[in-house]
Amino acid sequence: MLMQKERELIVEYGKLMLSSGLTRGTGGNLSIYDHELELMAISPSGIAYEATLPEDVVIMKLDGTIVDGTKVPSSENAMHAIVYKNRKDVGGMIHVHSTFAATVSCLNQDLPAVDYLVAFAKGKSVKCAPYATYGTPELAENSIRTMGEQNAVLLANHGMNCVGPNLQTAFAIAEQLEFCAELYVRAKAIGEPVILPDEEMDRMIVRFANYGQKF
């Protein structure tokens, strides 16, 4: 099976995305890109994560051509492809509908440095991209333009995208940023949270650059 390992990882992390509360139902999507093969493995559209099999994962070129697979790819495949076209450092991406990140995105504002873990986004905040209809070229353009060289972006009134050198890292970033979004929402409910200064976040970005294990 073409890109069998990547397909199996997408099935595994799709289930983790659901069980960890990063999405509900069939919402969200995830992908892996092989820069040597120039092929993207992406979750199928509308299939429950618990029922998804490796053969259901779709293999595509970045121009949208399906190379292998019989299922319809995620409706957000262009939003994944545009990242891989512009970011040579990215090999995995996850798009989530997590509750607290989506809550902040409904304010159409950035997630500030309420906790040093925001630095996992490789920035002093997680920026919020302007709203556009899901699955459209406009949303794909808004997301990559706003994210730039960072590892995450909020999508206004929608959710959050996280990227990394591999899917495992992208997933870990999504978990950490959802935690930060929850802290922010809860802190705003009882007062005004203290935001960490830019100087501290600069230090954290440097420290996180070599954090953890390499997959």
Could you tell me whether strands 128-129 and 152-155 are parallel, antiparallel, or unpaired per DSSP bridges? parallel
| DSSP letter (8 states) at residue 118 | G
Contacts 24+ apart (CB under 8 A), 186-194: 187/114, 193/112, 193/114
Task: List Cβ neighbours of 18 (8 Å cut-off, separation of 6 or more).
Answer: 24, 49, 50
Separation between Cα atoms, residue 21 and residue 136, nearest integer Å: 25
Token pair belonging to 165: 């050198």
- Domains of the chain from N-terminus onward: 4-208 (3.40.225.10)
Q: What is the pLDDT along the chain (215 residues), one digit of tens a residue?
A: 899 999 999 999 999 999 999 999 999 999 999 999 999 999 999 999 999 999 999 999 999 999 999 999 999 999 999 999 999 999 999 999 999 999 999 999 999 999 999 999 999 999 999 999 999 999 999 999 999 999 999 999 999 999 999 999 999 999 999 999 999 999 999 999 999 999 999 999 999 887 654 44
Q: 3-state class of 58 per DSSP?
A: strand
- Cite the active site residues: 76
